[in-house]
Amino acid sequence: MDTQVKSNPEPAEEQQQDKIKIAEDFKNQANEYFKKQDYDNAINFYTQAIEANPNSAIYYGNRSFAYLKLEWFGYALKDATAAIELDKNYIKGYYRRASAHMSLGKFKEALRDFELVTKIRPNDKDAKLKFVECNKIVRKLAFEKAIAVEDKRKNIAETINLEAMTIENDYKGPKIDEESKITLDFMKELMDLYKKQGTLHRKYAYKILLDIKSFFMSQPSLVDITIEPNKKFTVCGDIHGQFYDLMNIFELNGLPSEDNPYLFNGDFVDRGSFSVECIFTLFGFKLLFPNHFFMSRGNHESSTMNEMYGFHGEVKAKYSAQMSELFNEVYNWLPLAHCLNQKILVMHGGLFSTDGVTLDDIRKVDRNRQPPEEGLMCDLLWSDPQHQNGRAPSRRGVGCQFGPDVTKAFLELNKLDYIIRSHEVKNEGYEVAHDGKCITVFSAPNYCDTMDNKGAFINLNGSDLTPKFTTYVAVPHPDVKAMAYADAFYCI
């Protein structure tokens, strides 16, 4: 006769100790991935640590930091708050939450977190410094808002006097011809100048900005593009100030021309430290080929993003604060989306927080402003696809996440075939999702000199509009690191 031996269950305390040990093992693995800048795997293991032991503020704080690295500010904010709720004295939780708030342009909320840190640690010099710096930003924004209310007619473009700007005798760079039009020779000279780390004369730089602003002001928020049968059309994603990789795209795919049209889908600047070179190259080609070169606004074509991620600092270093303000005016007029052959909608971010949005609704968007925190314009710049059906709050904290069913309904309503968007780093430079109806393209390889991703662009043929992908790796660039012009205060 068999006998069954019953084992005594482990005491609850021992079980808890085992869970804590398992959680620590997961955390240690996550930390190793974090050190390697593999943030996706780091998040995966921090999540497992939290599941094993949900009572550790450190796990939430670490995962929040990893989310910040991926620019998932909404998730970072949620985790930092969870860490603080577990441990009111967990200083890094306040720092993480402040960083998330700042990245979302919520400086008053960030200031409150820094103030709490100074109360918890009144002798912490770093906390005091960050409180003072954040307070300066809040005061500055309040002052600028008051000035804007007092003078709504303020227009930097109208204050620029090109005739008063003289060309020094020792200037050896490209010049705009007497007819005041950009030529192909000018563009080739400009790119050669930039490859040698030269600087375009400020008179020509200002002229490009004034001309491009006038052009964009004449454009609708949704631009319709016709690709002729058997003609090639190229769509590129984020460039993010990586000028030498932009040059590589032109090496691989040919220079823009009437026979080789391009659409660059937002986020031309920030992060990479050659953003000035990128934007003037792109604006120059837009002026040279206005009907065969297109640019969509990205979420980084905004004052808040540019202050934090380096572009404004770079413009001020290479030109002036006045030019930095003029860029804000120009970006406000960038189109928000493009429709190719009435079949493909291209936008930087994604689809919408509400059903029933039509192409005509996009055409009617008043875009001459800084990006709002909600609505159609916000979603076009910020939203991301998700694998599951329905919608969810954005992991970025702005816009929404939309599923395959949302994409399908939008395409059916507007009689479209698929959408192309950018906005997210992809290991291969692109991703096809939602049953082939939602394509992501990202054109900045080894993003921020750290991500080791490939870049990609899409070639379309007007006859069938079937996407064909070209991928490439990063090329060498001068020893100027990403974020070199960003204010260190924003990089907590």
pLDDT, tens only, 134-179: 999 899 888 877 776 555 557 999 999 999 999 999 999 999 976 7
Same domain, 173 and 138: no
Does the pLDDT of residue 239 top 70, yes or no?
yes
Quote the pLDDT of residue 3.
44
pLDDT at residue 2 above 50? no
Instruction: Give me the domain span that covers residue 186.
Output: 162-490
User: Taking the CA of residue 42 as centre, how many other CA atoms within 13 Å lie in the half-sphere pointing to its CB?
Assistant: 21
The number of domains in the chain is: 2
Do 143 and 166 lie in a common domain?
no
Angle CA(23)–CA(25)–CA(31) in degrees, nearest 5?
105
Give the domain-ending residue among 79, 113, 148.
Answer: 148
Whether residue 130 sits in one domain with residue 191? no
For 252-307, the pLDDT digits (tens) are 999 999 999 999 999 999 999 999 999 999 999 999 999 999 999 999 999 999 99
Final residue in a domain of this structure, among 148, 173, 197: 148
- Check whether residue 255 and residue 351 sit in a common domain: yes
Residue 439 has pLDDT above 80, yes or no: yes
Statement to judge: residues 180 and 132 lie in one domain: no
Same domain, 295 and 341: yes
Q: Among 154-163, 350-359, 406-415, which is the least confidently predicted range?
A: 154-163
* Among 395, 396, 490, residue whose Cα is nearest residue 110: 490
Q: Is the pLDDT of residue 1 over 50?
A: no
CATH number at residue 434: 3.60.21.10
Confidence of residue 180 (pLDDT cuts 50, 70, 90): confident
Indicate the residue among 124, 148, 172 that finishes a domain. 148
- The tokens of 171 are what? 């200037």
Question: Quick one: pLDDT band at residue 463, thresholds 50, 70, 90?
Answer: very high
Q: Which of 201, 240, 300, 348 is catalytic?
A: 300
Same domain for 367 and 223, yes or no, is yes
Question: 359 and 290: one domain?
Answer: yes
The predicted-structure confidence for 199-219, as pLDDT tens digits, reads as follows 999 999 999 999 999 999 999
pLDDT surpasses 60 at 467: yes
Residue 153 lies in a domain: no
Strands 400-402 and 391-393 come out as antiparallel
Examine the domain organization and report whether 135 and 202 are in the same domain. no
Q: Is 300 a catalytic residue?
A: yes
Q: Which phi-psi region, left, alpha or beta, contains residue 471 (left: φ > 0; alpha: ψ -120 to 50)? A: beta
Report the pLDDT averaged over residues 228-255.
98
pTM score over 0.85: yes
CB atoms within 10 A of CB 431: 16
pLDDT at 176: 92
**pLDDT digits over 30-83, tens only?**
999 999 989 999 999 999 999 999 999 999 999 999 999 998 999 999 999 999
Query: Based on the domain organization, do 137 and 185 belong to the same domain?
Result: no
- Is 130 a member of any domain? yes
Q: What are phi and psi of 196, to 5 degrees?
A: -95, 10
